[in-house]
Structure 1
Amino acid sequence: MTKLRIGIAGISGRMGHLLVEEVAAAGAELSGGTARHGAEGVTVFPDADALFAASDVVIDFTNASAAEANAAAAARVGKPFILGTSGLSPAQEAAVEAAAKVVPLVYSSNFAPAATVLFALIEKFAAALPPEQFDAEIVEMHHRQKVDAPSGTAIMMGQAVARGRGKTLAEVGMESGRDGHTGPRATGPIGFAALRGGQVVGEHTLLFAGRSEHVSLTHRSFDRRVYATGAVQAAFWAARQQPGLYSMRQVMGIA
């Protein structure tokens, strides 16, 4: 049986090294990658088009600025694309959506299996706990090098709350950066607070706060490897799919 050839954008980075190990552990073939500073012991391609041409699927955990170009390369070459970068601008998200019309594309800010299950549970909680009775607040913490806030996972939590309440996140509204005399909390919007420090991989807590009770849902990542494992799982899944924009919920078969 022919092994699945998986390419890695940013193969010399922190996530790139973990992906190399997880590709081997899954029994796939590493086709190579792209790298800004070179990488030892692996094939480094000069550009994204060459990487996609040599691969059956490409995984990208680089940065938002590269996501648009890599999505376009996936569409040009016609190969599935796994994107795990957060902080995309509306224009970059539009480029991802355009590529998904041509190739299978799995896009998620969090490839951890337990986090994926949590998003589904959040929708159920939000549907049962109306905003008139329960305020939704999201607190997240990451390492000091993270450049975007709120995190992609926090936004996915907010989107899950909004879906559970029959709206989009834009319709519900986001509140962040409270400071000074803000007045009473408005009913409906979701609160976001972002903490940065140390080397925290990722911690996210959603709090539904009612007048007489509250419930909190928390996900903690202790090792970035969990994201690499999930992305490789998504690569095997995407290789069998038709063009479209998918999430980890579909990869895991969660309704």
Structure 2
Amino acid sequence: MNVVVVGATGRTGSEIVAEASGRGHDVVGVATASDTVEDVRVYPNDDLPELLDDADAVVDFTVPEATREYAGVVAEAGVPYIVGTTGFEESGIEALRAASESTAVLKASNFARGVQALLRVVEAGTEALPDYDVELTETHHNGKRDAPSGTANTILDVVDSAREAELKRTHGREGEHPREESAVGVHVRRAGTIRGEHELMLAGNDEVLTLTHRAESRRVFAAGAVDAAEWLADREPGWYEFGDVL
């Protein structure tokens, strides 16, 4: 299988290159300038259209501005597209939705298998405890740009769906700030080299339930992204999610 990894020199991109190569796939990288990652050649962005001629899948963990540009090129080539970029505004999601009309697009905020299991437990727990207060805390490394994380927002969307209501997302508290009944507290921490940790707390009836996922290495996300690439390679054009892979 031929895999193109855009953003190949980035933190997660380089892990994806290593994971795909380790599974025996033919891998080429794309980044802002020529380089080498894990003995894999990295080409400049301008070479992407030509590289797509032989590609079976494209994996993208970059930034929203870059992904919007890549999406049009990948869609025109009709190559399945796996996107782990987060922090999109609505226009970015629209660009990916448009690309899915021409090729298979799999978009996920988190490619850890454990997070997919967490989402299922969050849904069940929130439905079982409909009157409990909800608080979410997420922690990432000091270089992460978007806050809250894409995974945090996905967890909150699951909570909203399970409660059949859109809870008011309160981002931190300061001064006199009594808790509103329909609120969900969202707390963001950025420090050190922490790969990613999410904790959902449900509290009420003199008890507390906490649901937590912690990633120990970016290789977790890389493995999931390559799983997705292998699964998506022969799919019809359309919109897919990582839960479909599992």
Indicate the larger mover: 40-49 or 230-239: 40-49
Q: Compute the TM-score of the two structures, normalised by the length of structure 1.
A: 0.90
1:37 aligned residue:
33
1:197-236 matches, within 5 Å, as 197-236=191-230
1:121 aligned residue:
121
Judged with a 3 Å threshold, the aligned counterparts in structure 2 of structure 1 residues 36 and 214 are, in CA distance, closer, same or farther, namely same
Judged with a 3 Å threshold, the aligned counterparts in structure 2 of structure 1 residues 165 and 47 are, in CA distance, closer, same or farther, namely farther
2:174 aligned residue:
179
Supply the AA of the counterpart residue of 1:99: A
Runs of 4+ with >2 A deviation:
45-54
1:89-108 matches, within 5 Å, as 89-108=89-108
User: Aligned partners of 2:61, 2:25: CA distance in 1, in Å?
Assistant: 18
Supply the AA of the counterpart residue of 2:18: E
Supply the AA of the counterpart residue of 1:178: R
String of CA shifts for 1:179-216, please: whole Å, max 9, x gaps: 1112x211223221000111111111000111411100
2:20 aligned residue:
23
Q: RMSD across aligned C-alpha pairs, in angstroms? A: 1.4
- Show structure 1 runs of 5+ residues with no match: none
Supply the AA of the counterpart residue of 2:214: R
2:2 aligned residue:
5
User: Aligned partners of 1:89, 1:47: CA distance in 2, in Å?
Assistant: 27
Aligned length, in residue pairs: 242
Q: Compute the TM-score of the two structures, normalised by the length of structure 2.
A: 0.93
Query: Hey, which of these two has a bigger chunk of strand by percent?
Result: 2
Displacement after TM superposition at 1:97 (Å): 1.3
SS at match of 2:43: coil
Displacement after TM superposition at 1:135 (Å): 1.3
2:49 aligned residue:
49
1:67 matched to 2:90? no
Identity across the alignment (%): 36
User: Aligned partners of 2:95, 2:183: CA distance in 1, in Å?
Assistant: 28
Displacement after TM superposition at 1:47 (Å): 4.0
8 Å CA contact 1:34–1:51 kept in 2: the answer is no
